[in-house]
Amino acid sequence: MRPFQLGDFDYDECFLGNGGFLSPESNEEKHMMSFYLEELAAELARQGVVFGGTQPLHWLEPGIGDGSSTARFARMLGRSHPAGFVIHGSDCQSEMLPLARRAIENVQAVPMTIAELSVVDAFSGEPLASRLCDFALLSHFVYHAKNIMNGRQPTDAEIDQRIGRLIGSLTESLHADGVALAFHESSASDMFGKLGREYGSAMYDATQRIAAAARAIGRHLVAMPLESKLYFPNLSSRTIEDFKDLDRWRQFDDGTPEASWLKKFLFALHSFAEVDKSGVTRRPGGARRLAGRSSQLGSGSQLGDAVDRLCGILQRDERGPYLMIRSEMQAILNGSHLKAPVDAAFSAVTRQLPAIHERTRLALDAAVRKSAAE
């Protein structure tokens, strides 16, 4: 059985896997962030910040994962910096690094060189690169500060310490003219801010924690709100009612619309199992944890409550049901002299958001057509 069929949250399956959160035919943010970074790099170049020079830029990315986002974003950023990039990446999972290397080496649109891909816990305070870099990217990464640590959920104080160490190491790894770009969900988001906050263990306040960590070390921060949609398969009410019974999850095979719905639901909960050093599960994660708790709303179990809550949050347009993902792009500045030009660049991109949303809609339409053809 696949983890999702048992109600277990598996990050790679629910994020990267077939029908998961990152599926291009359902996630506007997958497309929108590329367009946003393209426009932001162009505006920063006009302001003389980071991009637009004649030398390759040293790009720092902790939590690089499989490198797919790095590769996608490099193609867009390269339009404002055709000299290319030198990648300094790391991840705590060694098995991710060969995947990242392959993804980066396959980029053809802009020159790409890999300086280092290292196994590093970015929250440990360890150095993140062997030399100073020009800019850093944190793409939905800070949530991992809340992952299980030594077999248990870290406390709020420990999470803040981990994020503080990350932001400290990040800024210390950049030149004085360097900028770190981070984008994460805000507390107003439908996914982590509502469903995850109530029924999971997702970090719904990542942007506030990042801002607090930056202020604590005297760094300036410029932020901009963003919105995109995460579409769920359009299923019958009878099928969704079945999801309240965990035993019925076993019948939904990978690749089906039902499996995609369940993976996105588990990702929104973002609740890991707690496992002790001997491998014994101290507390189940995902839907299994909720299925074992009594309902507070008369749905049989808290799993039923969470399914009802998701259905209550879902909005609908001509494409189908969706959650609104409300995020922030944050620029952490290594020098106060950067605040005015970065502010100007963010303001210019804000004026372009209607055009970016239209490009996003067209890209999502193309992804839907491609998925249907396959």
Question: 85: domain CATH number?
Answer: 3.40.50.150
Does any domain span residue 36?
A: yes
Report the mean per-residue pLDDT for the chain.
93
Work out whether the CA dihedral 16, 20, 26, 27 comes out positive or negative.
Answer: negative
For residues 202 and 318, the model is more confident at 318
The answer to whether residue 273 is domain-embedded is no
Amino acid making up residue 352: Q
Q: Does the pLDDT of residue 18 top 90, yes or no?
A: yes
Higher pLDDT among residues 151 and 349, named by residue: 349
In a domain, 38, yes or no: yes
Query: Contact at 8 Å (CB) between 92 and 120?
Result: yes
**Residue 104 falls within a domain, yes or no?**
yes
Question: Nearest CA to 293 among 278, 305, 281, 309?
Answer: 305
Asked whether residue 149 carries a pLDDT value surpassing 70, the answer given is no
Distance, CA of 18 to CA of 12 (rounded, Å)? 10
Cβ-proximal residues to 121 (8 Å cutoff; 6+ apart), any chain: 92
216 falls within a domain: yes
% of the chain exceeding 90 in pLDDT: 86
Q: What is the DSSP string of 48-83?
A: TSSSS-SS-EEEEEES-TTSHHHHHHHHHHTTT-TT
Average pLDDT over residues 23-31: 94
Is residue 16 pLDDT above 90, yes or no?
no
d(CA 69, CA 91): 14
Reference 270, options 251, 256, 289; nearest CA is: 289
Cβ neighbors of 295 (< 8 A, separation 6 or more) are 301, 302, 304, 305
Q: What is the Cα–Cα distance from 267 to 270, expressed in whole angstroms? A: 5
- Count the neighbouring beta carbons within 10 Å of the beta carbon of residue 141: 22
Share of the chain above pLDDT 70, in %: 99
Q: Classify residue 259: in a domain, yes or no.
A: no
Range 251-274 average pLDDT: 94
Higher pLDDT, 202 or 74: 74
* DSSP alpha helix (H) spans, the chain: 11-15, 28-46, 68-77, 96-105, 156-172, 197-199, 206-216, 237-242, 257-269, 286-291, 302-313, 339-351, 353-373
Q: How many residues can be counted in the chain?
A: 374
The lowest-confidence range among 48-62, 125-139, 140-154, 290-304 is 140-154
Q: Mean pLDDT over residues 64-68, rounded?
A: 92
Please indicate, yes or no, if residue 276 is contained in any of the structural domains: no
| DSSP string over 255-275 | TSHHHHHHHHHHHHH--PPEE
Sequence letter at residue 11: Y
What is the reported pTM? Answer: 0.93
Domain that holds residue 217: 25-187+203-229+325-373
Number of domains in the chain: 1
Give the per-residue pLDDT at 148. 67
Q: Would the pLDDT of 214 be above 80? A: yes
Query: Does residue 156 fall inside a structural domain?
Result: yes
- Describe the crossing of helices 68-77 and 28-46 by its angle, rounded to 10 degrees: 40
Average pLDDT over residues 159-179: 96
Give every CB contact of residue 217 below 8 A, 6+ residues apart in sequence. 164, 167, 168, 171
Amino acid at 13: E
User: Angle formed by the axes of helices 353-373 and 339-351, to 10°?
Assistant: 60
What is the pLDDT, as a whole number, of residue 151?
Answer: 66
Q: What is the pLDDT of residues 35-64, one digit of tens each?
A: 999 999 999 999 999 999 999 999 999 999
Q: How crowded is residue 313: how many other Cβ atoms within 10 Å of its Cβ?
A: 18
